[in-house]
Each structure stands twice: as structure tokens, then as C-alpha cells.
Structure 1
Amino acid sequence: MRIALIEPDVQHAKLIERLIFAGGHVCQHFIASAPFLQRATDEFFDLLITASWARDHCAEDVIARARSILPSLPVIVLMSAPRESQIVAALHAGADDCLNKPVRGPEMLARVDALLRRASLRRPANRRRDTIGGYAFDTAHFAVTYRGLTVILTPKEFRLALLLFNNLARPVSRAHILETVWARRRDEKSRTIDTHASRVRNKLQLRPELGYALTPVYGYGYQLDAIPPEAVVDAD
């Protein structure tokens, strides 16, 4: 499922992103509500998780604006040591649930899954795949469909591909890859990451002439870039 996260606290957002990926979902992080609302006009989200203050608007306003675009969108509000009146206000504004910050992994995933189970009945039939840059990700079967082809990946290959596509044009560190894909910090051999990156590149045909380039970033990690057709022509 595709989950939008509005969280100005980047470190806390990284924690939530790792948890959501571990739960088998796609997470798109926004540091404020405005870019999320703009994206929501073109893309479908199954769930919104938003901080009580989304940098530019309070959660109550964000809920109203989001529901004007995606009417049945479930919403979880993140709060730091909230008073009862704050929780009540969020629920009255339309929040489906509230969570304390920082989140606790098992509790957050359980609440996310519960909301998604209820919301799945309302999801449009034509939005059952998460499509990013022309690649459709099926988390239930670890399958990726692109250009009329469907490829089955291993669970780790699938999570790595999702991580790279959700960080398009941004370098992803080896440490982040280990934490997200392997749920480990430094006890996985470096060549294991390289092997999985090579398999993802080959299976998904991430080549410049086909619109994408997956390249190692020396001493750091990997970066996936979309290559415009004119750039390929100029290179030739």
C-alpha cells in the first residue's frame, strides 16, 4: 500500500520510513503539507500519517484539505506528549487514530495495518498497484511490472528496488540500505548489497537507453536516476 508521511522532523521520518518499508508498504515522505497536497492531486495514497504540526498547517487543517482531494483517506496524527484535549480535537477533525511520538514500531505497524484493512474496501479498483516512474510494485507477490513485463523479485530485491525508486535522484547510503532492506546496521557484507543492486539493475532493466541509471556512489551507496530521452540521444 502507498502511505504518505508528513513529518518535519527528518530523523523521526527516517525511523517511520524504515518501519513502513519493513511492513511491506511504500512510504512517500513530505516535510510539509503543501507538497503532499500537490502530489495527492495526481497520485493515490491509501493512508496519511501526519505530524500534529505539519510545518505549514496544523493536522486539523491538513485533514480537511486532504479529504477534499481524497475523500475517504484514512489519517493517523502523530503527537508529542499530547493532552487529552489535543487528541479529542484531532479525532473531531476527522483523524482515524493518534500515535505518540516517537513511535513504537510494533504498535505503529499494527495500527497502520488495521486502518489499511478497513480502508481497502474503499480503495478504487484501478489503484491496486503502487506505480512509481512507470514501474508498478505489487507488494503482495514481490512482483514489478514495467513496459508490459512482470518480474518476480526476492523480498530483499523488492525492498531495495522500492527504496531506490522512492529516493529517485537522491543517493541512498549503504547504512540506510542495510537498515531498511536487511533490518541490520553493519553486520552484512558490503558485496551482498552490490550483488542485490546488480540483480535489481538487470531484472528491472535499469539502463540509460531504457530511461534509468542505477550507479554506485563511491564510498557512500547507490543512486537511481531517471534519464530523459534527449540525454541518451546527446550521449550518442
Structure 2
Amino acid sequence: MRIALIEPDVQHAKLVDRLIFAGGHVCQHFTTSAPFLHRATDEFFDLLITESWAGDHSAEDVIPRARSILPSLPVIVLMSAPRESQIVAALHAGADDCLSKPVRGPEMLARVDALLRRAGLRRPSNRRRDIIGGYAFDAAHFAVTFRELTVILTPKEFRLALLLFNNLARPVSRAHILETVWARRRDVRSRTIDTHASRVRSKLQLRPELGYSLTPVYGYGYQLDAIPQEAVAETG
């Protein structure tokens, strides 16, 4: 699932990001609420985790603004040594849960999973479009639009491409790919994953000279990286 994190403390954000990734989710970090609210107009998030002070506004102000864009968005508020009055204020403002900082891994993941289960994880029909790194993913039609081109993928190619873009600059294991794309089917051969990765690379033009590199990670899986344009120019 896609989880937005608003956390001004970058070091704590790195801890939360690692925990969320270990739990099988994707984390998008924002240091203030403004860029998150802007991104939420184009992209869908399944859950918001925000610090009680979101860098530019309090969580009590951010929650209603977030839900005006993403109705029924589940929200967890992070607090350092919270007082009862702070917890009550956050819950009255619409928070679904509160967690003390620094977070404890097993507890945080258990609360995230419980909240996502209760939320039902159903995206509105008009919020099935994700824009990541200049690529727009239309889940309703398995279409990807980039550089004024629109390419139709097979459902499995689409899920693989979206998984790779959601984990940009991170290696994605074959086990994670199997779970996400093939629902853990044990009869899927390793070369089947390789074939789909090759098709995604070709159809979406994931080449270094065009700003992206999709490479196999020996003995592990695949990694998609964005290539800075200045690096492309230097090698060109």
C-alpha cells in the first residue's frame, strides 16, 4: 500500500520508511504538509502518517484538508511524549490512531495493518491514477503515459511497472515481485519475471539515455533508478 509520511525529523523519517518498507508497503516522505497536499491532488495514498507538528501546520489542521482531497483517508498521528490532552485533540480532529515517537517497529506495523484492514482499501473510481517520476499510471485501463506517449500494458506488466516505480532506487526482491504481481504462485518460473521485466523496460523506454535504468540485482531481484539528466549529458 502507498503510505504518505509527513515528518520534519529526517532521521526519524528514515526509521519509519525502513519499517514501512519491511512491512511490504511503500512510503512517500514529506517534510511539511504543503507538498503532500499538492501531491495528493494527483496521486492516491492509502494512509497518512503525520507528526503532530507537520512542519508548517498542526496535524489538527492537516487532517481535514487532507480528507477534503482524499475522503476517508486513514490517519495516524506521531507524538513525542504525548500528553493526554494532545491525544484527545488529535482524535477529535479526526485522527484514527496515535503513536509515540520514536516508533516501535512491531507495534507500528501492527497498527498500520489494523487500520488499513478497517479502512477497506477501496479507491474511489476517479482516484485510480498515480503519477511517479513523469510516468502516469492509469489502473482502470492498464495504461502508462509518459513524454506524450500512452502505452497499454498487460495487467501483470502494469503491476510490475508500478511496483518498480513505487520503489524507485530500491532493490525489489523476486519474492516481493511474485507476491505483488503473481499473488505468490509457486509455479511461476524465474525467467517469467525476467521476461516481464524486459517487456516493461522496452515498452516504457527505461533506458539511461532517457533518464531511467532498470537492472537485475544478482541473486535478489530488480532495481529501477532515475538517471540525473546532467549525468546523461556528460556521457552523451
Structure 1, gaps ≥5 residues long:
139-143, 165-171, 183-197
Shift, 1:136, TM fit: 5.0
Residue equivalent to 2:219: none
Shift, 1:53, TM fit: 0.6
1:101 aligns with 2:95: no
1:148 aligns with 2:149: no
**2:76 and 2:99 in contact (8 A); partners too:** yes
CA 128–112 in structure 1, closer or farther in 2 if over 3 Å, else same: farther
1:69 aligns with 2:72: no
CA 125–160 in structure 1, closer or farther in 2 if over 3 Å, else same: closer
| TM-score normalized by the length of structure 2 | 0.65
Aligned-residue CA RMSD (Å): 3.7
Residue equivalent to 1:46: 46
The CA deviation string for residues 28-67 of structure 1, in whole angstroms up to 9 with x for no partner, is: 1000011111111121211110001111111101112111
The CA deviation string for residues 7-27 of structure 1, in whole angstroms up to 9 with x for no partner, is: 000011111111111222221
Question: For this pair of structures, how many residues does the alignment match?
Answer: 191
Residue equivalent to 1:141: none
Residue equivalent to 2:211: 212
State, as a whole percentage, how many aligned pairs show the same letter: 67
Shift, 1:163, TM fit: 2.7
CA 103–63 in structure 1, closer or farther in 2 if over 3 Å, else same: same
Query: Which structure is richer in relative contact order (CA contacts within 8 A, separation 6 or more)?
Result: 1
1:224 aligns with 2:223: no
Distance 2:41 2:93 in 1: 21
Structure 2, gaps ≥5 residues long:
145-150, 175-193, 216-222
Secondary structure in structure 2 of the residue aligned to 1:14: helix
Secondary structure in structure 2 of the residue aligned to 1:123: coil
Distance 1:44 1:13 in 2: 20
Secondary structure in structure 2 of the residue aligned to 1:76: strand
